[in-house]
């Protein structure tokens, strides 16, 4: 194949790709407008002594057989042979924003199709498909997506977490030895959110080159960023296949999950803009713009398993009075479900609780002008259930082994056709019989030994989960789905293609939520992040927060309330009502504007904003996390506005004692002040003084 130098451009990003017998990205960065013929020769590398005698490219599909001593993109074999394939490009198709590259290794009997797309928001999508073209089984141990990183990417932002503590971030130097994370928990996981960010030293919200990566896969994965001995570096992401799991017969194929990536030359906020726009338009396909995100009332923290339909109807009545738009009955409504030890799998209404059926409750909810939603955990089963008693073989497990339970439950083998059909039939039954417009789809345990007929089935289980959701949504296209897995255990782009929002965390503590939501904001826009006002006394941390902090924290997501409104005081209910109204008023802006994180001079603050795309208005939230470090907290600079426009600044919400805790708060909090976008970015406004665990909301409007 003759060497071709191809350029793929997005809005501001360009990929310069060398296609010859292999494919190498020579450049990934801002568009280069003036290019001379043969400019790529300026990048030809020297060949040092003491290593292989030819230049070894850092290809899109690193191969040991080509002499690249990095983690190869493919590890596999045909009964011990064909284990070091080297693919030769056979064809390239170029669209305006995409390349499809076909290559093959005839000796190994393999074909590879590589799809590389760069969208209008500068987000790259990459995946490889491997096809076995020869007789006999080709066993695939690994198949990875690889993208190069420039040598100046020497710092990483990665994620860690756990139940009730999702999306925690850590920073580290990227140096020889690199970084690797492995998730073997069988779902996207709280612990290893499948994303990371590389950048130039000290990159922050507004400065530095950054490259963000997200692997769209809801199961086991491996992500690594490696620094080769020669200094070159790359990012690699893959689904983990369990032993023997991928065995391709002649003609069979396996594809990697999509790897999403983007570059920003000015920090994290711009990277997030790319991902947010991509999510809105190309992951959600603008599905959420069809109607405003309805305010939820979820029964879980209000009543847990204690279901009494009369009482639930009272809860609905109180919810409607506060302005709630969708009422969701959580766990506890189905047969035998009186606690978390029994019932999963028996997706029949618990007639001992709902003696008059569910219709009356739903009609009541609908008559109050609210939509109705219902909780399911379809992939799970308790041994104490009729389902298990009649189908003990439906477990996703291995004979002769006793696996540990998680929340007293096991997973169902979705490759078992009868089990799959049963689950579909049960879900379909409820969606067909009742006026249910929303499902909260939960998944509360990690997968330990995913066995199907004695074979490993971790990868297939995830694919079958997608298939089950897809089959259901094909039949019930108007039903919305929330992805939940003990809070934020299944949050990724692939799930979002078939769902509408995520339950970000079981932690409803506003202080903790500030950090969790910030972590999530790097890749997801506010409207897909379920964010609820919980009870004053948080069930999860036992902290107490007043309504100002809880309300403003829940405001910047897909908002809801999660408590028992019947038991709440009038004062509390007035508070919920106030923030529901505020959310409804700001919702069009919050769910369509550019969400940015603001840098603050004091780590005791966390500030973020949403700016209308027309740059005519914005809202800014400043949360005071702990005691201010100094008695004065400097200024708050707000980037992202139109530098030439004038904005009037107003304080939209503040804690009750705001004016009493100091001699004087900054003037702008009382008197109307007008400032330009340039002023707000460069000089900013004086920070007020706030008590720990409180927040203010600032409004900016074109004057």
Question: What would the two tokens of residue 627 be?
Answer: 């005691």
* Least distance CB 427 / ligand DGJ (angstroms): 16
Question: How far apart, in whole angstroms, are the C-alpha atoms of residue 684 and residue 237?
Answer: 40
* Least distance CB 379 / ligand DGJ (angstroms): 13
* Least distance CB 493 / ligand DGJ (angstroms): 20
| Count of residues that bind ligand DGJ according to CB under 6 A | 11
* Least distance CB 661 / ligand DGJ (angstroms): 35
Strand-pair category, 694-702 with 617-624: antiparallel
Sequential DSSP letters for 594-644: EEEEEP-SSTTEEEEEEE-TTSSEEEEEEEE-S--SSSS--EE---SS-TT
Question: How far apart, in whole angstroms, are the C-alpha atoms of residue 30 and residue 15?
Answer: 9
Q: Are 209 and 519 in contact (CB under 8 A)?
A: no
Of 415, 558, 419, 564, nearest in space to 483 by CA: 558
Altogether, the residues listed in the chain come to a count of: 703
Helices 458-475 and 417-433: crossing angle, nearest 10°?
Answer: 30
Q: Are 693 and 648 in contact (CB under 8 A)?
A: no
- Does residue 441 touch ligand DGJ according to CB under 6 A? no
- Does residue 344 touch ligand DGJ according to CB under 6 A? no
Nearest to ligand DGJ of 185, 224 (CB atom): 185
Sites for ligand DGJ among residues 291-310 (CB under 6 A): 300
Nearest to ligand DGJ of 487, 628 (CB atom): 487
Nearest to ligand DGJ of 74, 563 (CB atom): 563
Whether 506 is catalytic? yes
Nearest to ligand DGJ of 153, 486 (CB atom): 486
Q: Which of 121, 375, 410, 579 binds ligand DGJ (CB under 6 A)?
A: 375
Catalytic residue among 119, 331, 442, 492: 442
- Does residue 446 touch ligand DGJ according to CB under 6 A? no
Catalytic residue among 226, 506, 594, 653: 506
Sign of the CA dihedral with 132 first, then 134, 138, and 143 last = negative
- Does residue 342 touch ligand DGJ according to CB under 6 A? no
Q: Which residue has the tokens 């959580």?
A: 330
* Least distance CB 446 / ligand DGJ (angstroms): 13
Of 618, 597, 606, nearest in space to 273 by CA: 597
Nearest to ligand DGJ of 502, 522 (CB atom): 502
Nearest to ligand DGJ of 232, 426 (CB atom): 426
Q: Which of 183, 444, 449, 624 binds ligand DGJ (CB under 6 A)?
A: 444
CA angle at residue 173 from 170 to 174, to 5 degrees?
Answer: 110
- Does residue 331 touch ligand DGJ according to CB under 6 A? yes
* Least distance CB 9 / ligand DGJ (angstroms): 42
Q: Are 396 and 461 in contact (CB under 8 A)?
A: yes
- Does residue 442 touch ligand DGJ according to CB under 6 A? yes
CA angle at residue 222 from 220 to 225, to 5 degrees?
Answer: 160
- Does residue 330 touch ligand DGJ according to CB under 6 A? yes
* Least distance CB 436 / ligand DGJ (angstroms): 16
Of 573, 447, 469, 562, nearest in space to 513 by CA: 562
Question: What would the two tokens of residue 480 be?
Answer: 């919305």
Sites for ligand DGJ among residues 502-561 (CB under 6 A): 503, 506
Nearest to ligand DGJ of 442, 572 (CB atom): 442
Nearest to ligand DGJ of 260, 300 (CB atom): 300
Neighbour tally for 586: CB within 10 Å: 20
Contact string 386-425 vs ligand DGJ (x = CB under 6 A): ----------------------------------------
* Least distance CB 346 / ligand DGJ (angstroms): 15
In sequence order, the β-bridge partners of residue 451 are 456
* Least distance CB 399 / ligand DGJ (angstroms): 29
Q: Are 303 and 564 in contact (CB under 8 A)?
A: yes
Sequential DSSP letters for 633-667: --EE---SS-TTSEEEEEEEE--TTTTTSSS---G
* Least distance CB 128 / ligand DGJ (angstroms): 34
Helix (H) or strand (E) holding 195: strand 195-199
Nearest to ligand DGJ of 293, 532 (CB atom): 532
Whether 442 is catalytic? yes
Question: What would the two tokens of residue 370 be?
Answer: 């609210």
Query: Which DSSP letter does residue 138 get?
Result: E
Say how far residue 641 (Cα) sits from the centre of its chain.
27
Q: Which residue has the tokens 């039939």?
A: 425
Sites for ligand DGJ among residues 474-503 (CB under 6 A): 484, 486-487, 503
Strand-pair category, 480-483 with 501-503: parallel
Question: How far apart, in whole angstroms, are the C-alpha atoms of residue 101 and residue 109?
Answer: 17
Nearest to ligand DGJ of 129, 383 (CB atom): 383
Q: What is the number of the residue whose Cβ is closest to ligand DGJ?
A: 331
Residues designated catalytic: 442, 506
Interface residues toward ligand DGJ, by CB under 6 A: 300, 330-331, 375, 442, 444, 484, 486-487, 503, 506
């Amino acid at each position: 194949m003759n060497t071709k130098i191809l350029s793929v451009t997005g809005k501001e990003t360009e990929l310069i790709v060398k296609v010859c017998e292999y494919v190498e990205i020579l450049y990934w960065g801002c568009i280069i407008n003036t290019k001379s013929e043969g400019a790529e020769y300026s990048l030809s590398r020297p060949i040092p002594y003491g290593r292989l005698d030819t230049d070894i490219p850092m290809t899109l599909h690193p191969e040991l057989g080509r002499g690249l001593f990095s983690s190869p993109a493919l590890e596999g074999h045909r009964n011990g042979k064909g284990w070091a394939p080297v693919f030769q490009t056979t064809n390239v198709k170029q669209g305006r924003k995409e390349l499809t590259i076909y290559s093959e290794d005839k000796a190994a009997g393999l074909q590879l199709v590589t799809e590389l797309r760069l969208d209008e928001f500068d987000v790259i999508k990459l995946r490889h498909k491997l096809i076995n073209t020869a007789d006999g089984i080709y066993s695939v141990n690994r198949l990875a997506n690889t993208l190069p990183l420039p040598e100046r990417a020497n710092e990483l932002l990665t994620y860690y977490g756990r139940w009730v503590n999702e999306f925690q971030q850590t920073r580290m130097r990227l140096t020889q030895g690199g970084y690797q994370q492995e998730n073997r928990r069988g779902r996207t996981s709280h612990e290893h959110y499948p994303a990371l960010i590389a950048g130039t030293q000290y990159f922050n919200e507004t400065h530095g080159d950054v490259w963000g990566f997200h692997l769209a896969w809801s199961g086991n994965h491996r992500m690594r960023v490696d620094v080769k001995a020669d200094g070159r570096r790359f990012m690699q992401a893959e689904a983990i296949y369990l032993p023997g799991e991928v065995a391709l017969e002649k003609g069979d194929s396996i594809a990697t999950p999509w790897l999403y990536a983007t570059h920003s030359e000015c920090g994290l906020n711009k990277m997030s803009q790319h991902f947010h726009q991509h999510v809105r338009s190309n992951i959600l396909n603008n599905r959420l713009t069809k109607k405003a995100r309805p305010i939820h009332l979820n029964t879980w923290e209000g009543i847990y398993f204690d279901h009494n339909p009369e009482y639930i109807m009272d809860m609905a009545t109180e919810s409607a009075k506060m302005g709630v738009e969708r009422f969701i009955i959580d766990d506890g409504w189905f047969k035998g479900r009186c606690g978390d030890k029994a019932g999963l799998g028996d997706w029949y209404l618990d007639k001992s609780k709902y003696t008059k059926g569910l219709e009356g409750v739903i009609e009541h909810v609908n008559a109050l002008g609210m939509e109705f939603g219902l909780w399911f955990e379809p992939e799970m089963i308790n041994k104490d259930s009729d389902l298990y008693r009649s189908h003990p073989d439906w477990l996703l497990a291995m004979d002769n082994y006793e696996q540990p339970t998680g929340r007293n439950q096991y997973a169902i083998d979705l490759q078992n056709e009868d089990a799959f059909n049963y689950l579909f039939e049960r879900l379909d039954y409820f969606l067909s019989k009742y006026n249910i417009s929303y499902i909260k789809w939960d998944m509360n345990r990690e997968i330990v030994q995913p066995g199907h007929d004695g074979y490993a089935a971790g990868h297939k289980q995830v694919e079958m989960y997608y298939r089950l959701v897809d089959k259901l949504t094909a039949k019930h296209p108007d039903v919305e789905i929330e992805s939940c897995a003990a809070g934020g255990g299944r949050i990724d782009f692939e799930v979002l293609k078939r769902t509408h929002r995520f339950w970000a965390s079981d932690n409803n503590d506003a202080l903790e939520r500030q950090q969790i939501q910030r972590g999530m904001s790097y890749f997801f826009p506010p409207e897909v992040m379920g964010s609820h006002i919980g009870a004053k006394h948080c069930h999860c941390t036992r902290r107490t927060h007043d309504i100002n902090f809880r309300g403003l924290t829940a405001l910047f997501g897909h908002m809801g309330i999660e408590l028992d409104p019947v038991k709440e005081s009038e004062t509390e209910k007035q508070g919920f009502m106030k923030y529901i109204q505020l959310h409804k008023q700001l919702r069009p802006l919050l769910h369509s504007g550019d969400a940015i994180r603001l840098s603050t001079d004091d780590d005791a603050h966390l500030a973020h904003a949403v700016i209308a795309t027309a740059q005519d208005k914005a809202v800014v939230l400043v949360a005071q996390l702990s005691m201010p470090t100094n008695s004065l907290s400097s200024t708050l600079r707000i980037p992202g506005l139109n530098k030439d426009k004038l904005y009037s600044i107003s304080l939209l919400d503040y804690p009750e004692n705001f004016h009493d805790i100091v001699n004087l708060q900054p003037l702008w909090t009382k008197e109307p002040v007008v400032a330009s976008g340039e002023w707000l970015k460069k000089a900013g406004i004086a920070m007020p003084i706030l008590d720990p665990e409180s927040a203010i909301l600032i409004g900016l409007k074109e004057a």
